[in-house]
Structure 1
C-alpha cells in the first residue's frame, strides 16, 4: 500500500495524563526518518525531531482538540519532508453522557450552504459550545450558551467536522461531554461568462448605453455582477457594484474609446471574482451625417421670380446646420442655418449649381456632407407646377400589411397629371403611370424602409415631370412599444402606507406588454414578467427611494425591450417634524433651582432630541441625541440663558429636522 499511515494505541478521546503511543506504519518500503508534531488551536509543538524511531510516547497535560502530524523524509533526501500524515485526537473524557446525539440536516453541502445542527441531550438545562475543524485548526464558532441549535454557513471546500461540547450550568469543568459529526463540502460549478454585449444600437454622447452579461452556472445559485468603465487614459469608474442585475446602463458624457469590465462571482464565493470579461466599445459624438435627399419642390426649367423651395433630408448628427449655396449668374449663400429648407427666388435666367452643405454644430471644418443639384432658369411665361402637400392616412412608422393611402395637392400648369413611384431601400417596386388621379394606395407586405415619390407635370409638358416630392416611410412587422407618459399621484410627500399607483400610457396598447422592476434604495425587491397590465400599484412598508423601472415591448418583439422609463418616488417614514416648541415647569427662574424643559413637536417617527445650553454667551452640548424629550438644568449664576433643542427622526441622515429655542433670565 503506497502510503504512510499513523495510529495510536488508545482510541480518541482519552483523559489527561494518558500514555498515548503514536505508531507509524511504513508501507513505502523506503528508509525514512520521522518528525513527530502535536497541534492545538493553531499552535504546534515538536515531540521529537527527525528520528528513525517508528513509535513515540505522548502524555498530554491539558484537555483539548489536537492534531497529530508525522512528517517523513528519505534518508539523505534534499527535501524538508517527502511524506506527511495527520489524525485528530481529543483529550478530555466525559464523566457522564449528556449528549444523546448530534443531528445535521445534511452531510453533503455546497460551498455557501447553511449547515443546521441540532443537539439532543439526556437532560436540561445545559450549556453548549460549538467548534468547526478547518484544515489543521479547530475554530470556535459559538461560545457556551443555552442554544442546542446552530446554523452556520460553510465557507471552505473539503472534509469538515463539527464538535459540540456540553456541560452543566454549575460545572467548573471545561466540558462534561462532547460529540462530533462529519460532513463534506463540495465546490460550486465554475461561473463562466458566456456572452457580453451592448443592447444599444447607436453608442452616442449623452445617450443611455445599455449592456447585458450572460453566464453559465448552477441554476439554483445567485450570481453577482460588478461593472467598471475604463476610459482610454486608464481612468476607472464603477458603474454597478456587485448586484444580481445582468443589465447595466449609464449615460456617457464624452466620446472616445472605452472598455467595460464585468466581474462575476457566486454570492457565497470566497474569491474576489469567479470570472471576468471585457467589452471594447467606442462612443461617438453623433452618427455620421448622410444627405439622404436634396431636392427642389419644382422641376426645372422655371421662370425668373419663381420661389423655389430646396428641401434637405439628412440623417445623423446631433445639432445639424445647413448651408445653401447658389452658384450661377446671380449667386447666393445662406450661411449655416438650422433650417432644413431654403426658399430661392431666382433673379436672372441661366444655368445654376445648387449646393447643400451639412455639418454638426460642434464640427470645426467647412462641412461633413455635401450634395449638388443642377438647375435652369428661363424667361418663358407660364405659371409653374408646384406640389402644395402630400397627405397620408397613416403615421410613420407603419405596420406591415396596412394599406397606405396618399393624396397629392398641386397647383399651376393647365391640366395636371400625377404619377407615383414606390421604392424599397433603393429598389423600385412599383411605377404608377401618369393619370388624372391625384391619389394612390399601397400595401407593404414586408418590413423595411420605403420611399413614396409623387410626380406632377402639365399635360403639355415634354419633361419627365415638372415637380416631385418624396415621403419616407418605415414599415415594421410590429409597431415597437412606445411609452408616451408615466402617470402617478402628484404629491409633495409620500408616506409609508400610502398606496402609489403608476399608470403607463402607451401607444398600440393592446399589443404591448410591460415588465416592472421595483428597487428600494438601489436594491431590487420585485420583478414581474411581461404582463398586459398598464397599471402598477404598491404600498411602501418603510421609507427610502423607490425606483420603478418600466420596460415595454410589443408582444411580437424579440428584443429584451423596446422602450424603458423610470419613476423615482421618495417615501418618508412619517411627516416631517414641525411646530417644535419648548415648555418648562417653572414661571420664575432662580439661581440653584432646577428647571425641567420639555420638547413638544408634530410629525416624525421614533424622534430623538439633542439639547444645548447657552451660558455667558457660549453654547455647550449638554445632552446628545436620545429618546428623552426633556432636560433638567440648574442655573447657578444670574444672567440670561438659552435652551436649544434639536430633533430628528431616528433614521434621518440629516443633522436635525427642526429646532426650538427657549430664553430665560435668572433672578
Structure 2
C-alpha cells in the first residue's frame, strides 16, 4: 500500500455548522476497513467504527483545534490497525500558535529505554501538559507545568505518540495549542527459562540445597529472578525476592516433597513475571541406612552360659534403632533398642540364626536394613578369649600413604595369637597370619573403603578365631578440613568501635583454607576468598547482629567446602543505662514551695528521661521522654509524694532501661521537724497509696 492521505471537502479553517467530508486516499488494496476518530484538548472520540466505506461526513458544532485520525486495517487482520494517518483541522478563528517546535531525542528506542521530549514555545511564560498514546488510548504523563522538557521511560512496544498541549499562563481554555510527535518502541526478544535444576545430589534435611536457573534473553537486558518454595500443604515461602542472582541456596528444616517456583522478569517489564518454571524435589529426613557389619565378639561355636556380644555397625539415618532377633533351640527378641550392641547368653545347645533389623526412629515400616549370621552353641570347652580394647587414632577419614598403627589388647586363653586381614571394597588385599605381635602398621596406597579385621585366638584353639573385631576406614587423598573451635574475645557485651577478633582452630592447619562471610542484620557486607589466615577481625561501625559464616576446605578438596560454622555476636551502640539516681535541691518540703529534682545516670547514648508523680495515692505522667534532666513542681497539699524517673537511650525501643524513685513528705508551712530524704527501692511501689505498673 502507498501512504494513505486524508482529503477534506473544505479546507481548514472553517466556520461551525458546515458539512465537511473526509475521504481516505492512497489505499490500493481491496477489502479494507476504515475507522474515523477526532481529538480535541487531549480527549478522543470515535466518529465511526471500522467500515468498508472510506468517506465520512462531519458536522462540527464547536470552535476549536481538532485532530482527525483514520485507522485502516485488512478485514482478516488480527491487529488493532495496519495503517494510520491524521491531520489537524481548525473550526472558528485560527488561534495563535504557541508551539514552534516539538523534538524527540530518539525516534527508535528499545523497550525500557528513556526518551527526552523538548518543546520550543513562541514566548515565555507558557504552560505545558504531556500525554502518551498507547493502544488507542491517551494517558496523562504530566499535568500543566512551565517545564518544556519531559523524560519518560517507555514500557510498551509499538508505534506510540507524545501529545504536548500548551496554553498561556492566564488562559481559561483547556488548551490553546498542541502538537504531537511519534516514535517506535522496539520489542525485546522474549525472555524464556531454558533450564531449571537442582545442583545438590543428595537432598537431606538440615543441609544446604542449591538450585540454578538458566534463561535465554537479549544480552543487553537485566533479568531478575524470584524463588518461592511450596510445601506439600500448599504453603508458600519466598526464599529469594527478585534479584539478579540466578543461583539460590537454602537449608530445608523438614523432610518431604516440595516444589520450587522460579519467576523471571525483565527489569523494565510491567508484568508480574515474563516466564516461570517449577521444579519438584524430595528432601529426605536422613541418608539411606547401610549396614556395614554385623558381628559377634566371640566366634562360633561357643558353650551354653557364655556372654556373647552382638554388634552392629550401620551408617546413615538420624536416630537409629536396632533389633536383634535370635531363632533356634530358644528364641529371643530384643525389640527395637537404641544401642547397637546386645549381650546374648544362650542356655540351650543347637544351631541359631541371628537376624539384625535396623531402621530410623521416624520410619514407620518394619526395617530399612537387614543382616543375618549363623551361630552354633555346643558343649565344646571354649577358652574365654576377649578383646578388651583396640588402640588406634580414630578419624572420620584417613590419608593414603600414611601409616595407621593399630594395637589389640586381649585377655584370656593360655597363649594368645594375633592375625590381621585387610579388605578393600569386600576383597582381601593383605593378610598377616597368626603371630605373637599384637599390633600392625597399615599403610593404604589407594583411596577407598577398607576393613581391618583383628583376629585373636588361643594357641591351642582349633577354631579359625576365638574373638575378632572389624575396623572400618575411609581412605582419601586428603583429610577433609574440620573446624574444631572458633575462638573470640570472651566478652558478653560488644560495642561499636570494639575490635572483635575470631580465631579458627582446626587440625591439619597448613593444608586448610578458610573463607569468611560477614553479614550485618542479615545483609552480606563482606566475603573473602579461601585464604590461609585463621584469624578474622571486625571493627563494627554500627549496632546490630553480626554473623560470620566460616567455610573450611582442604587445599586438595574439590568440594565447595568441607566444613562450615557460624558465629553470631550482637554489637551495641553503647553501654546500658545504669546507676540512675534522683536528687532533690532541698531537705524539707513545704506546701506552696517549689521543689526541683535532678537525675544522673551512667552509660547509654543520648539518654532521655520520663517523670511520673504520685500525689494522693495516684500516679500521673508529668514529663514525657526528653533530654531534660530535672523536674520542678509546687505541691499544693501536704502528704506523701513520690517521684519516679525512667531512663533509656533515645534509640532504644524498649519502655526503659533503668529507673529510680524518690519518696518525700510535704508539710504545712509550720515549723516541724524535717524528715530525712529517703530514696526507696521498687518494693515501695506496692504500698497502699498507689502503684504504677511500668515493669
TM-score, reference length from structure 2: 0.71
Deviations 1:506-525 (A, max 9, x none): 33333333333333333333
Q: Please say if residues 130 and 162 of structure 1, whose CA atoms lie closer than 8 Å, have aligned partners that are also in contact.
A: no
Q: State the match for 2:520 in structure 1.
A: 520
- Identify if the C-alpha distance between structure 1 residues 589 and 528 changes in structure 2 by more than 3 Å, giving closer, same or farther: farther
Deviations 1:333-367 (A, max 9, x none): 55554332234455565444444444444456765
Tell me, in whole angstroms, the C-alpha distance in 2 between the residues paired with 1:561 and 1:260: 25
Give the secondary-structure state (helix, strand or coil) at the position aligned to 1:272: coil
Q: State the match for 1:71 in structure 2.
A: 71
Q: Please say if residues 6 and 22 of structure 1, whose CA atoms lie closer than 8 Å, have aligned partners that are also in contact.
A: yes
Give the secondary-structure state (helix, strand or coil) at the position aligned to 2:198: strand
| Displacement after TM superposition at 1:474 (Å) | 0.9
| Displacement after TM superposition at 1:633 (Å) | 8.8
Deviations 1:311-346 (A, max 9, x none): 211233333333445555676655554332234455
Tell me, in whole angstroms, the C-alpha distance in 2 between the residues paired with 1:180 and 1:606: 59
Deviations 1:32-69 (A, max 9, x none): 6551322656x434578888558989999899xx9864
1:299-314 matches, cutoff 5 A: 299-314=299-314
Tell me, in whole angstroms, the C-alpha distance in 2 between the residues paired with 1:635 and 1:134: 72
Q: Please say if residues 23 and 55 of structure 1, whose CA atoms lie closer than 8 Å, have aligned partners that are also in contact.
A: no
Tell me, in whole angstroms, the C-alpha distance in 1 between the residues paired with 2:515 and 2:619: 56
Q: State the match for 1:454 in structure 2.
A: 454
Q: State the match for 1:11 in structure 2.
A: none
Q: Please say if residues 518 and 546 of structure 1, whose CA atoms lie closer than 8 Å, have aligned partners that are also in contact.
A: yes
Q: State the match for 1:539 in structure 2.
A: 539
| Displacement after TM superposition at 1:472 (Å) | 0.6
Higher Rg: 2
Tell me, in whole angstroms, the C-alpha distance in 1 between the residues paired with 2:597 and 2:180: 61
Tell me, in whole angstroms, the C-alpha distance in 2 between the residues paired with 1:277 and 1:374: 55
Q: State the match for 2:558 in structure 1.
A: 558
Q: State the match for 1:210 in structure 2.
A: 209
Q: Please say if residues 387 and 410 of structure 1, whose CA atoms lie closer than 8 Å, have aligned partners that are also in contact.
A: yes
Between Structure 1 and Structure 2, how many residues are aligned? 641
- Identify if the C-alpha distance between structure 1 residues 371 and 585 changes in structure 2 by more than 3 Å, giving closer, same or farther: same
Give the secondary-structure state (helix, strand or coil) at the position aligned to 1:510: helix
| Displacement after TM superposition at 1:397 (Å) | 0.4
Between 409-418 and 656-665, the greater mean CA deviation after superposition? 656-665
- Identify if the C-alpha distance between structure 1 residues 534 and 58 changes in structure 2 by more than 3 Å, giving closer, same or farther: farther
1:602-613 matches, cutoff 5 A: 602-605=602-605
Q: State the match for 1:383 in structure 2.
A: 383
Tell me, in whole angstroms, the C-alpha distance in 2 between the residues paired with 1:79 and 1:160: 19
2:202 is the alignment partner of 1:201: yes
Tell me, in whole angstroms, the C-alpha distance in 1 between the residues paired with 2:452 and 2:287: 25
Tell me, in whole angstroms, the C-alpha distance in 1 between the residues paired with 2:365 and 2:439: 44
- Identify if the C-alpha distance between structure 1 residues 506 and 167 changes in structure 2 by more than 3 Å, giving closer, same or farther: farther
| Displacement after TM superposition at 1:197 (Å) | 0.9
Tell me, in whole angstroms, the C-alpha distance in 1 between the residues paired with 2:621 and 2:239: 42
Q: State the match for 2:693 in structure 1.
A: none
Q: Please say if residues 484 and 505 of structure 1, whose CA atoms lie closer than 8 Å, have aligned partners that are also in contact.
A: yes
Tell me, in whole angstroms, the C-alpha distance in 2 between the residues paired with 1:219 and 1:82: 32
Tell me, in whole angstroms, the C-alpha distance in 2 between the residues paired with 1:167 and 1:598: 66
Q: State the match for 1:339 in structure 2.
A: 339
Unaligned 5+ segments in structure 1 are: 9-16
| Displacement after TM superposition at 1:473 (Å) | 0.7
Tell me, in whole angstroms, the C-alpha distance in 1 between the residues paired with 2:477 and 2:494: 42
2:259 is the alignment partner of 1:271: no
Q: Please say if residues 164 and 179 of structure 1, whose CA atoms lie closer than 8 Å, have aligned partners that are also in contact.
A: yes
Q: State the match for 1:12 in structure 2.
A: none
- Identify if the C-alpha distance between structure 1 residues 321 and 577 changes in structure 2 by more than 3 Å, giving closer, same or farther: same
- Identify if the C-alpha distance between structure 1 residues 658 and 417 changes in structure 2 by more than 3 Å, giving closer, same or farther: closer
Deviations 1:103-130 (A, max 9, x none): 89x996663x7x59799999xx999989
Q: Please say if residues 264 and 276 of structure 1, whose CA atoms lie closer than 8 Å, have aligned partners that are also in contact.
A: yes
- Identify if the C-alpha distance between structure 1 residues 179 and 68 changes in structure 2 by more than 3 Å, giving closer, same or farther: closer
| Displacement after TM superposition at 1:239 (Å) | 3.9
Q: State the match for 1:489 in structure 2.
A: 489
Give the secondary-structure state (helix, strand or coil) at the position aligned to 1:420: strand
Tell me, in whole angstroms, the C-alpha distance in 2 between the residues paired with 1:471 and 1:509: 27
User: Cα RMSD (Å) of the superposition?
Assistant: 5.6
Tell me, in whole angstroms, the C-alpha distance in 1 between the residues paired with 2:504 and 2:656: 38
Give the secondary-structure state (helix, strand or coil) at the position aligned to 1:395: coil
Q: State the match for 1:192 in structure 2.
A: 193
Q: Please say if residues 612 and 623 of structure 1, whose CA atoms lie closer than 8 Å, have aligned partners that are also in contact.
A: yes
Deviations 1:143-194 (A, max 9, x none): 8699x999876655567889999999xx868999999997967647726262
Tell me, in whole angstroms, the C-alpha distance in 1 between the residues paired with 2:280 and 2:638: 73
| Displacement after TM superposition at 1:248 (Å) | 2.8
Give the secondary-structure state (helix, strand or coil) at the position aligned to 1:513: strand
| Displacement after TM superposition at 1:203 (Å) | 2.1
Q: State the match for 1:26 in structure 2.
A: 26
2:37 is the alignment partner of 1:36: yes
- Identify if the C-alpha distance between structure 1 residues 624 and 144 changes in structure 2 by more than 3 Å, giving closer, same or farther: farther
Tell me, in whole angstroms, the C-alpha distance in 2 between the residues paired with 1:628 and 1:423: 79
Tell me, in whole angstroms, the C-alpha distance in 1 between the residues paired with 2:159 and 2:500: 52
Tell me, in whole angstroms, the C-alpha distance in 1 between the residues paired with 2:39 and 2:165: 21
Q: State the match for 2:317 in structure 1.
A: 317
Q: Please say if residues 416 and 458 of structure 1, whose CA atoms lie closer than 8 Å, have aligned partners that are also in contact.
A: yes
| Displacement after TM superposition at 1:295 (Å) | 1.1
Tell me, in whole angstroms, the C-alpha distance in 1 between the residues paired with 2:584 and 2:133: 63
- Identify if the C-alpha distance between structure 1 residues 619 and 175 changes in structure 2 by more than 3 Å, giving closer, same or farther: farther
Deviations 1:344-400 (A, max 9, x none): 455565444444444444456765555433323444446344434434457330123
